[in-house]
Chain A
């Protein structure tokens, strides 16, 4: 088994203009509403994700930002093939993985992993840390028994900043931040190339978030990992993302380089999202011009016609109500779906 540092050496490639590691094209996911009864015949669908396309290069972090109901979590799960796509294609390392199942899917798990949102519920409370982190190795036949992998587990724990003797304890002995590190160690066990981090710090205290985000950043630098970092607000993704994609009601509304999104947001929703993040400075916060959106996210079962954001958009016009705007380039490497910018 090669050590992680050897692997890091191997992986320090010249990327950038290579073929992207992950490509998603026209991804659409709809769920039928109501119980899948014995007789079938349900006609209503939840339009969770609608025609979403993006790509992620090796070694890059794409921040996928959206509120609840935006479809970001569903997109993440679909890329990992936990959910089936209703339409569209997904490529990983140049291979079309949209419809893989069975053993082929299982072997894919070695290359793409998931870091969960809830550190308290994502570790089986009855298993020791050693068993938890070694499970991927056992399941894929790399070792017979968790005990055989204890060296490797020790290495992984060290990598995420936990002491070696944590192996013999149970999850309840650790704090939220520490448990999240265990989750990251588990995700790294199989040396994946791509990790989907699903709101990895939302459930953690503010003062602990930095630890975990910085850890992920360091791991990316050392191991050449590629991330899809899902978050619900723009404040957390800024430091770790190279590019950011904003989703609303199942559609992508803006994609651009990280700094661009913060300095020159083109879509009214992105602007509202930025404006909604509270600033911990009473004077600034009170004097600030805040774009407070009225209303709520539309019903995913019957989304509005035209641009899905028009019901809450401060600058919506007639065209917005009838025609859906496509993602167009508004500036170099900066696309947005809006008729008015």
Chain B
């Protein structure tokens, strides 16, 4: 009868579950982490967009780290005899200068490769600084509440209302623009999102009975924050950080384009676009390739962030899973 077959199926499944649990116990923590990683990879494979995003990000990081080994030329080296060479598929072009050269004879490909470094450096630095400052302030604001909360949120609201670009211009008019000033300016402009988000999570988590239970049991505030509240922040912060990363890359490019960011002889994609502006119709490659680099990177990072958002939310994952297999399971009568 049907029940017999189901009976053996069920006992097999039960045994499998028990075996897995036993293994878990034996190996402890590392096993759980490995299993989580394996699970993540499997899901990434299911979401091709996310996979693409991850590959792009990994690729960019690789290029940034190994720039000196990858770039065929010194990005700052000028050679006026090689000025405005087109990309290699043109008659005048050659593989030595694969993507062409600019008006001063500098290799576009090498400049793009080195530009990756600056972009990465600025983006990582800003996310780190703004993220830490914003998260800490959000934690304090959410946990203390009352007047502290009002003050901090007041600052957040005021700063958000203030136009970011104007702030950048004002600051940069006073200080000489450079990679470091760009980082400062973008960090000042960017910490508020972290504060707001952290505060929101802290406020909602604080209401949960298990946090109250921790306090009832006698936990000091520090322990409550680190052990009970903070773990809820890791996935939203991660997603936010990645999204911000993309935004910073764009912002830095914009500032550099306006001349308020990276200054020569350093290279930045935005700067390259600015420098190639006058040659849009005659030497299109000077603007197009750095522009593509910007778009490509931002797209990849956004796709990764999108995948992260879904992967971090158990409910979303369940829905996706159900959608993927319900096609093969029974159908509506």
Contacts and interface: CB of A to CB of B under 8 A. Distances in A.
- Find out whether A and B make contact in their complex, taking CB atoms under 8 A apart as touching: yes
A123 B210 contact: yes
Q: Output the residue of A37, A80, A106 with the most chain B CB within 10 A.
A: A106
Contacts of A124: 210, 213-214, 228
What's the interface size class on B, roughly? 20 to 34
A268 to B, nearest CB: 35
A139 interface: yes
Contacts of B214: 124, 135
Interface in B149-204: 150, 154
Interface string A100-142: 0000001001100110111001111110000000011001100
Contacts of A109: 216-218
A117 B154 CA distance: 36
Interface in B198-242: 208-210, 212-220, 223, 228, 231
A190 B218 CA distance: 10
Nearest to B224: A139
Nearest to A189: B217
Contact of A126 (B25, B215, B218, B231): B231
Contacts of A116: 209, 212-213
Contacts of B218: 106, 109-110, 136, 139-140, 190
A36 interface: yes
A299 to B, nearest CB: 24
A139 B220 CA distance: 8
The secondary structure that dominates the A interface is loop
A82 interface: yes
Contacts of A183: 213
A16 B228 CA distance: 41
Interface in A295-317: none
Q: Output the residue of B154, B209, B217 with the most chain A CB within 10 A.
A: B217
Interface in B106-151: 146-147, 150
Contacts of A190: 217-218
Interface string B1-24: 000000000000000000001000
Contacts of A110: 218
A245 B168 CA distance: 65
A122 B146 contact: no
Nearest to B154: A38
A251 interface: no
B209 A122 contact: yes
Contacts of B209: 116-118, 121-122
A79 to B, nearest CB: 12
Nearest to A117: B209
A122 B210 contact: yes
A91 B223 CA distance: 29
A298 to B, nearest CB: 26
A139 B218 CA distance: 6
A114 B216 contact: yes
23 contacts: A36-B146, A37-B150, A38-B147, A38-B154, A82-B216, A106-B218, A110-B218, A114-B213, A114-B216, A116-B212, A121-B208, A121-B210, A122-B209, A122-B210, A122-B212, A123-B210, A123-B213, A124-B214, A124-B228, A125-B210, A183-B213, A186-B213, A190-B218
